[in-house]
Amino acid sequence: MGRPNTFPPKITYVQWNQLVEDYISQSDTSPQTISSDLVPDSNTIRNLGSSSNSFNEVHAKDFYGAAHYSDVYFTDLVCPICEKKFKPNELIAFLVLSCSDKEIRTVPVHVKCAMRRGAK
């Protein structure tokens, strides 16, 4: 069951722009917090950042959508099959944990581990 739409209040694109302008005009460079949802005023027409001014890192629990031309970083540091740490230049595959009508949940695994698991 999702959160009620009344709390926290949703923020419009215009309000977001004002928030950003206010933040930029401040001399204080400490991180600012948002205590409400960030929702554009129209579907699929607003951007966050630009080709010349992009965010360095985006931290999120879940990401839904498409990431084009992006490096992928995992917080999974150990293969769940062999329980060994991943090392640079190793080939990885995705092990599908679950599927639904809305998503596929995966974890990275060593390709060799995935091949051995598939042979069983």
Domain boundaries of the chain, sorted by first residue: 1-56, 68-120
User: Model pTM?
Assistant: 0.49
Given a cut of 80, is residue 82 above it in pLDDT? yes
Given a cut of 70, is residue 9 above it in pLDDT? no
Amino acid at 98: S
- Token pair of 71, please? 């490096």
The region, left, alpha or beta by phi > 0 then psi within -120 to 50, assigned to residue 89 is left
3-state SS, residue 4 = coil
Give the C-alpha separation, 36 to 75, whole Å.
27
What pLDDT, in 10s, does the model give residues 23-70?
666 656 677 788 888 888 888 888 888 888 888 888 888 777 777 777
pLDDT value at position 7?
A: 46
